[in-house]
Amino acid sequence: MIRTKTLLLVVCLFLPLSLFAGETPSPEGAKAYFIDLKDGETVKSPFLVRFGLNEQMGIAPALADWPDTGHFHLLIDKKPPNPNRPISNKNLHLHRGQTEATVELSKGMHTLQIVMGDYSHIPHNPPVMSERISVKVE
């Protein structure tokens, strides 16, 4: 009996999330990329990150549910995000539709990855992300 109740509770907790998950389709061929940062590059902190997006997709501020659009996120020292969940607030959201950001990082090696999110900060399906690059901060 206790086991059944626990199972029911677990199902109830996860069902709404799974129904909500990553339903915004990404346009075919959409690509996000770093405009001038390259894998293995050495940079001086603070440095400017410029976000690139090819013509298949447009940029919209968060909360604007416009077709084939999204806003940029920068993941620093993180694994690729769960595609079914909103991108955490611990990451940088360019929620006003910005296309560049000044980033300050401690000295040493860091990984950077761009991930597009829809109006509700959830990655598109399939996700539109850059390569995860490594930079050395001096």
- Which residues in this chain contact Cu ion in the complex, by CB under 5 A? 93, 117, 121
Phi/psi at 83 (5° precision): -70, -10
Q: Which is nearer to Cu ion, 70 or 137 (CB)?
A: 70
Q: Which is nearer to Cu ion, 93 or 137 (CB)?
A: 93
Considering the complex, what minimum distance in angstroms separates the CB of residue 73 from Cu ion?
5
Query: Cα–chain-centroid distance for residue 27?
Result: 16
Q: What share of the chain is helix, strand, coil (3-state, %, to 5)?
A: 15, 35, 50
Q: Which is nearer to Cu ion, 121 or 124 (CB)?
A: 121
Considering the complex, what minimum distance in angstroms separates the CB of residue 92 from Cu ion?
9
Considering the complex, what minimum distance in angstroms separates the CB of residue 83 from Cu ion?
14
Q: Which is nearer to Cu ion, 93 or 124 (CB)?
A: 93
d(CA 19, CA 134): 35
Considering the complex, what minimum distance in angstroms separates the CB of residue 59 from Cu ion?
12
d(CA 74, CA 5): 40
